[in-house]
């Protein structure tokens, strides 16, 4: 069955990578079919009921850079004529049941079409009405969504991500605030890319105010954080307790992690950037090299480590023994561009 993920426009690549990571975590076998601006269509194998239960449940709960998940009715060229042909010919079975009401919503992505979506909403609604179903604009049983990007994707809404929960966890809304931290949506996305599962051990060796740890803890991971500054460790504790997260914290050195070899399932961290940052190492270069060596040691074989920095961490990670899976660039503002490097420890390490 085909499912479409209506993506946020926060980054060109990260929302797609996050969707694929979340489906993999939930054991769903998928194959990309269409990728256009702010929409990804996947063929997901397996029993339809089981697949949709996972999509509506754990996948939706984890996602940060997705707005909606749709069960795909069909795809077409992004012209009114092609969309109407799709609407007229689709079979309603499997998308809307006898006696159910419906509404049609169209979403134009940027400037990929030059006609109003409202016109197609009415025309598609007419097609569905003629198939024997009644419209209800206020409280419909089924919402048909039309995504108008480089292609047109028509589907029924099966789930929506409550992105307001991330806004409620912005750094300024937490009990302890410190400037320069990751926003919750990017932190959750990186947690998802690490592949961490419920009950597994997640480490942030530069935990700061625990923004990354909170997001990992909220999906059920056991989280551990280290920071060199006592005040940040105390602030991290306040934030983690505010969200009821299962955690362990310590003031310490990321270059000397007090954990056994191969004991951690995943690592995501945002090390200090500026030269003025309080660090125990003699330089940032020494810090990065030592921290990645220790991260490699404590990470389980096959585990993922993600490092966010204002410089490529590739060199330090490769010297530590990691394989580089991906590198993403995120422009924050004029004077800050983050580099997100995704490493993996070899299965035989």
Q: What is the pLDDT of residues 131-171, one digit of tens each?
A: 999 999 999 999 999 999 999 999 999 999 999 999 999 99
- d(CA 90, CA 87) in angstroms, rounded, equals 6
Residue 336 has what pLDDT? 80
Q: What is the pLDDT of residues 298-347, one digit of tens each?
A: 999 999 999 999 777 899 999 999 999 999 998 888 778 899 999 999 98
Neighbours of 277 (CB within 10 A): 14
- d(CA 123, CA 164) in angstroms, rounded, equals 32
User: Which among 55, 38, 59 is positioned nearest to 47, based on CA atoms?
Assistant: 55
Report which secondary-structure segment, H or E, holds 180: none
Fold that domain 164-344 belongs to in CATH: Rossmann fold (3.40.50)
- d(CA 242, CA 69) in angstroms, rounded, equals 30
Q: Residue 294: what are its φ and ψ, rounded to 5°?
A: -70, -40
CB of 171 closer than 8 Å to CB of 209: yes
Strands 101-108 and 222-227, sheet pairing = unpaired
User: pTM (2 decimals)?
Assistant: 0.95
User: Which among 172, 223, 163, 199 is positioned nearest to 15, based on CA atoms?
Assistant: 163
- d(CA 171, CA 336) in angstroms, rounded, equals 18
Fold that domain 2-160 belongs to in CATH: VC0802-like (3.30.2130)
* The domains spanning 2-160 and 164-344 adopt the same CATH topology: no
Q: Residue 296: what are its φ and ψ, rounded to 5°?
A: -60, -40
- d(CA 27, CA 268) in angstroms, rounded, equals 22
| Cross-strand pairs, 89 | none
- d(CA 294, CA 23) in angstroms, rounded, equals 30
CB of 311 closer than 8 Å to CB of 275: no
Half-sphere exposure of 296 (CA within 13 A, CB side): 21
| Confidence check: pLDDT of 279 > 60 | no
Return all residues near 335 (Cβ < 8 A) that are at least 6 apart.
Answer: none
Domain residue spans in the chain?
A: 2-160, 164-344
Q: What is the pLDDT of residues 168-223, one digit of tens each?
A: 999 999 999 998 889 999 999 999 999 999 999 999 999 999 999 999 999 999 99
């Amino acid at each position: 069955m085909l499912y479409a993920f209506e993506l946020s426009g926060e980054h060109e690549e990260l929302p797609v990578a996050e969707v694929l990571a979340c489906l993999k975590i939930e054991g769903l076998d998928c194959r990309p079919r269409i990728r256009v601006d702010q929409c990804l269509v996947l063929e997901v194998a397996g029993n339809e009921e089981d697949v949709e239960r996972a999509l509506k449940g754990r996948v939706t709960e984890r996602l940060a850079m997705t707005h909606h998940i749709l069960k795909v009715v069909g795809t077409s060229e992004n012209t009114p004529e092609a969309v109407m042909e799709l609407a007229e010919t689709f079979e309603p079975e499997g998308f809307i049941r006898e006696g159910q009401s419906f509404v049609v919503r169209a979403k134009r992505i940027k400037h990929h079409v030059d006609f109003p979506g409202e016109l197609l909403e009415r025309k598609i609604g007419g097609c569905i009405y003629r198939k024997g179903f009644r419209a209800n604009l206020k409280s419909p049983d089924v919402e048909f969504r039309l995504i108008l990007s480089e292609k047109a994707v028509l589907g029924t809404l099966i789930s929506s991500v409550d992105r307001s929960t991330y806004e409620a966890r912005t750094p300024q809304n937490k009990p302890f605030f410190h400037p320069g931290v990751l926003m919750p949506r990017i932190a959750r996305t990186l947690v998802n890319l690490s592949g961490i599962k419920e009950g597994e051990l997640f480490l942030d060796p530069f935990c700061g105010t625990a923004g990354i740890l909170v997001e990992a803890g909220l999906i059920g991971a056991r989280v551990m954080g280290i920071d060199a500054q006592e005040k940040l460790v105390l602030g991290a504790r306040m934030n983690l307790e505010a969200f009821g997260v299962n955690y362990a914290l310590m003031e310490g050195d990321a270059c000397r992690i007090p954990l056994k070899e191969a004991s951690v399932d995943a690592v995501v961290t945002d090390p200090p950037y500026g030269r003025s940052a309080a660090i125990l190492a003699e330089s940032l270069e020494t810090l990065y090299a030592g921290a990645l060596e220790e991260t490699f040691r404590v990470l389980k074989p096959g585990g993922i480590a993600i490092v966010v920095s204002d410089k490529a961490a590739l060199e330090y990670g490769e010297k530590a023994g990691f394989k580089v899976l991906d590198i993403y660039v995120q422009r924050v503002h004029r004077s800050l561009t983050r580099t997100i490097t995704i490493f993996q420890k070899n299965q035989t390490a």
